Amino acid sequence: MTRILEVAKLNKSFGGVTVARDIDFVLEAGAMHCLIGPNGAGKSSFFRLLLGEHAPDSGTIGFAGDDITALRSFQRIRKGISVKFQVPGIFKALSVRQNLEIAFQYHLHGASLGETVRRVLEFTNLTGEIHTPAGVLSHGQQQWLEIGMAVGVEPKLLLLDEPTAGMSPDETRKTGEMLHELNARGITILAVEHDMAFVQQIARSVTVLHMGAIFAEGDIDEITAHPGVQEIYLGAADD
């Protein structure tokens, strides 16, 4: 399989606190992979290193065969990386349609923009909310809107930071179904998640982070059976 993401010897510290410690990580194109770990493990920091919001102290990040370590966030996005963070980054006073148009305006124009908006509305089950201010949507619908904003231009890699946080069980299940559909279209997915039931629903492979380092990797059965994974989930502070 083709490697879409290659991280080698990645290190990052803030004020003496290490958030990434010699991370070697490979993600195959087409993967549906989950990143888990106790609060404070460095998961969100790792995402921000991948996106270019933080510069590593050392190490390299490769994407689709290119070294992107020195690239800024917008340059990585143009190469095909998209992200949805835990807190929805929507414009609450604007309509659902306007949010989507803003997300796509630098990539699409004219008929292609309108067609992509229509397709994303259908995919996110928000067609009936096209004129609704985004701030009026339910929490789950706001999360789906932002997923739609992230995937409308068909990125190669989608980073998701706790996409089901605050969702009901039914919304969580529907989100998993959406991600499986995106993955079937060829979008590689890397998701940070705490909900192990959701991880079991979507993940083909799992990486466990602990204290900024990779603690374990494997399929979901190997991870849940790992003797040390349950232990490190006890009594950690948020990252």
pLDDT tens digits for 72-87?
Answer: 999 999 999 999 876 6
Q: In the structure, what pLDDT confidence band is assigned to residue 104 with cuts at 50, 70 and 90?
A: confident
Q: Are 60 and 110 in contact (CB under 8 A)?
A: no
Give the Å distances, CA to CA, from 100 to 111, 141, 144, 164, 211. 14, 13, 12, 20, 37
Helix (H, G, I), strand (E, B), or coil: what is residue 161?
strand
Q: Which residues contact 181 (CB under 8 A, 6 or more apart)?
A: 123
| Mean pLDDT rounded to a whole number for the chain | 91
Q: CA–CA separation, 208 vs 216, rounded Å? A: 5
> 170-229: per-residue pLDDT in tens?
999 999 999 999 999 999 999 999 888 899 999 989 999 999 999 999 999 899 888 888
Look up residue 19 and give its two tokens: 């958030």
Q: Which residues contact 1 (CB under 8 A, 6 or more apart)?
A: 28, 29, 30
Q: Quote the crossing angle between the two packed helices 110-123 and 96-104, to the nearest 10°.
A: 130
For the cut 80, the answer to whether the pLDDT of residue 234 exceeds it is no
More reliable by pLDDT, 59 or 234? 59
pTM listed for this prediction: 0.90
In this prediction, residue 225 carries a pLDDT of 87
Amino acid at 124: T
Q: CA–CA separation, 63 vs 27, rounded Å? A: 10
Question: Residues of the chain with pLDDT > 70: what percent?
Answer: 93
Q: Which residues contact 33 (CB under 8 A, 6 or more apart)?
A: 27, 188, 189, 190, 191, 203, 204, 205, 206, 207
CA-based nearest residue to 193, from 51, 84, 100: 84
In this prediction, residue 145 carries a pLDDT of 95
Q: In the structure, what pLDDT confidence band is assigned to residue 238 with cuts at 50, 70 and 90?
A: very low
Look up residue 188 and give its two tokens: 């590689």
In this prediction, residue 236 carries a pLDDT of 42
